Structure 1
C-alpha cells in the first residue's frame, strides 16, 4: 500500500545542509608566482608570451609536439604549468557562446532512483534539442571539485546534480558560471539557484513515526555518516526522542558498496549488547542487505525484527516479506527539474525556483 505524506499544511521541514568553508576557493587564484597570472583563465597568447614563442608554435606543440624543437617544447610546457592553461576541446563549436549540452552529475550511477530521475530529465531536455550528458561524483568531494573545475572550459548550457553542493568554494564557482544550476534530493533553505527536492530530515522523522505506530520502542539506525544520511539520522533521532522511543544503536558507514554492506551492518548490531526491535536503514541497499541476512540467520521479519528502508526500490516488493520504504517519485523529480531547466534556458523568469516533493510510504510486510 502506497501513501503520500504531505506536510504542506504544516511548517516545512528544511534540511540543515552542512556548508564546508575550509576549502580554498576555486574561483580564486589559478596560479601565483613569477608568471603573474591570477584568476583570469589563461589564453594561448598568454602561454606564447611567457614561453617567448608565437601562438601558432604553442598550438603546434600541444597538438603535434614532434614538429616543435625540444627546447621550445620545454619552455611551452613550463609556461602551461605556470599559467594553468588548458585546451578547450569544445572551442571550435563554442565560439558563439554556450553549447547545447546540459551536464548532470550523479552521486552514484548505479542508483535506481537517480537513474529514473536522470532519464525523466533527459526526455524533457532532449525533446527541446539539448544533449544530456551524465557523470559520476561517487559521493566524493575531490571528484565533485574536479567536475566543477571542468565547467568553465566545457561551457555547458546548464548543470544538474543529484544532491546539493556542500563545499562553499564549489558553490561560488557554480554561481560564477551564470548558467542555470539545478540541485536535487534535499531541501535546504539556500540552494545555489534552482532546486527540486524533499526533506531528508522529515524522512527520518517519518520513519520514527511509522515504527512508533507499529508499537516499536527500541530501535536502531543504519546509514551514511555524512550528507543526506546525516540529515535522515538527525530527523530520526529527534522524532524518536519526542515519541519516547529508545535509539539503542547507530551503525554509520562512509560508503555503500552493495548488499554486503547491509549484511555486515546487521551483524554489527547483533554482536552488540543491544537488542533492537526494529531498524531504520536510510538506504534501500542497506535495508535489503539486512533483510536478506536476517532471513539467512533465521530471524523472522517482522516478528523478531522490523525493518524499514529509504528509496522505494523496485526489488523492495519482490523479496519476502517485502520491504517497507519511504521515498519520492524519482521520475517526477527528474521531469520537474527538466521543465524548470527548459524554462530558464528559454529565457523565462521563474518566480518559484524551489519545488518540494511529497514523501511516499510503501507499506509492506517488513514492519
Structure 2
C-alpha cells in the first residue's frame, strides 16, 4: 500500500501548443473565420454543426477539417449563463467508457448536487484539439468550477484555465505543479508497485503493455526504474494508442507473443488491456499464471469475474470524485484549505493471475 503522506511526484510532460491552431489563451475562433478558411458561408458552417445531412459530403468534410484544425466549438450554454454566479460545474472526462472515470464523476456529482450545483460532463477523448475547444467554451459557460479526470499537459490550456479565475481540480496523476487543486494518483509509484509484486512472485523476464503517453507512460517509467533496481529484465514494451475496449488488450498481448521471446509476466497499465490479455491467453491455451503471469491496474468489474481473477493495483475511484467535490465546496464557501494537493492511496488486489 502506498503512503499518501509520502507519494512520489509524477514527472508529467508539459507540451507547447500544436502549430496551426488558435491559442486557448487568445480569442476563440469565430464561425465567420471557420467559413472563410473553408471557402463557404457562415450559414453553411452552422448547417454542418446542426444538420450535417443537409450538406454534401465533400463540403461537410472540408468544414469539419477546418473546425478540427482551429478548435472551433459552438456554445449552446453561453447565452443562458452569461450573467450572475453560475451553479454549473463542468467535469471533463478522458473516456466516458471508463468504469473508474464513471465512478469518480458520479461521486463528484452526488456530493455537489445536494448543495445546489449542477454537473455538466464532456469527453476529451485524450485529444488536445478537443481539450482546447472545450476550455475555450468555458469562457461562455462561466461555470463555478471545472474538474478533469487527468492533468492538463498543454501549456496554453494551463494558462487559459488559470486566467478563468475559477477553481480548477485535476485528478489521476500527481505532478509537482498542478494548476490549482489536485486529487491525484502517484502513477510512477503504481509502476514501481507492479515491478515489486512481479519480483516477489519470482518472475525475472517481464514485459509492459500500456499507453505510450500520458499516465500510461508515467506507470511505464515507474515500472522501468523499479525493475532495474530489482534486477528484472524488461524484455518488451508494447505501446498502445487510444484504449477503447478489451480488443485492444487482446491485440497488444498478441503483439507481445508474436515477438517470440520468452516472458514470465506482463504488467498492463490499464485493466481493459489486462483483461483482454487474459482472454487472449485463454484463447491460446496458455495457463495463467503458470505459463505467464498478468498484473493489471484499475480494477474493473470484469477483473473479478474472469478465470483466473485478475491481480491488479487498485484505488478508490469514487473517493477521487468525492474528495474533489469536498475541496471544491470548501473553496467556494471561502474556507481556507489546509491541503489542496491530495494523493489517493494505491493497494494491491490479489486474485490469482500473478
Q: TM-score range by the shorter chain?
A: 0.7 to 0.9
C-alpha spacing 1:94/1:247, structure 2 compared with 1 (3 Å): same
1:140 aligned to 119, 127, 144, which one? Answer: 127
Q: CA deviation at 1:8?
A: 4.7
C-alpha spacing 1:25/1:217, structure 2 compared with 1 (3 Å): same
Q: CA deviation at 1:90?
A: 3.7
Q: Quote the Cα distance in structure 2 between the aligned partners of 1:85 and 1:334.
A: 27
Coordinate RMSD, CA, aligned: 2.0
Q: Quote the Cα distance in structure 1 between the aligned partners of 2:122 and 2:340.
A: 24
Q: Quote the Cα distance in structure 1 between the aligned partners of 2:73 and 2:233.
A: 57
> Highest Rg: 1 or 2?
1
Alignment correspondent of 1:172 = 159
Q: Which runs of 4+ in 1 moved over 6 A?
A: 84-88
Alignment correspondent of 1:95 = 83
Q: CA deviation at 1:258?
A: 1.1
TM-score by length of 2: 0.84
Q: CA deviation at 1:29?
A: 5.4
C-alpha spacing 1:150/1:245, structure 2 compared with 1 (3 Å): same
Q: Is the 8 A contact 1:13 1:202 kept in 2?
A: yes
2:238 is paired with a residue whose SS is strand
Q: CA deviation at 1:25?
A: 3.8
C-alpha spacing 1:85/1:340, structure 2 compared with 1 (3 Å): closer
1:6 and 2:2 correspond? yes
Q: Is the 8 A contact 1:160 1:182 kept in 2?
A: yes
C-alpha spacing 1:253/1:176, structure 2 compared with 1 (3 Å): same
C-alpha spacing 1:93/1:133, structure 2 compared with 1 (3 Å): closer
Q: Quote the Cα distance in structure 2 between the aligned partners of 1:119 and 1:272.
A: 41
Alignment correspondent of 1:27 = 25
Alignment correspondent of 1:295 = 282
Q: Quote the Cα distance in structure 2 between the aligned partners of 1:200 and 1:339.
A: 23
Q: Is the 8 A contact 2:87 2:143 kept in 1?
A: yes
Alignment correspondent of 2:218 = 231
For 1:184-242, what per-residue CA distance to the aligned partner results, in whole angstroms no more than 9, with x for missing partners? 00000100000001100000000000000000000000000000000000000011100
2:295 aligned to 304, 308, 333, which one? Answer: 308
1:150 is paired with a residue whose SS is helix
Pairwise mapping of residues 119-134 of structure 1 onto structure 2 (< 5 A)? Answer: 119-134=106-121
Pairwise mapping of residues 216-227 of structure 1 onto structure 2 (< 5 A)? Answer: 216-227=203-214
- Runs of 5+ in structure 1 lacking a partner? 36-61, 63-83
Q: Quote the Cα distance in structure 1 between the aligned partners of 2:165 and 2:192.
A: 36
Q: CA deviation at 1:27?
A: 1.4
Q: Report how many residues are paired.
A: 312
C-alpha spacing 1:339/1:31, structure 2 compared with 1 (3 Å): closer
2:175 aligned to 164, 169, 188, which one? Answer: 188
Q: Quote the Cα distance in structure 2 between the aligned partners of 1:271 and 1:139.
A: 28
For 1:240-281, what per-residue CA distance to the aligned partner results, in whole angstroms no more than 9, with x for missing partners? 100000000000011112111111111111111311100000
C-alpha spacing 1:337/1:219, structure 2 compared with 1 (3 Å): same
Q: Quote the Cα distance in structure 1 between the aligned partners of 2:4 and 2:327.
A: 21
2:347 is paired with a residue whose SS is strand
Q: Is the 8 A contact 2:81 2:142 kept in 1?
A: no
Q: Is the 8 A contact 1:88 1:153 kept in 2?
A: no
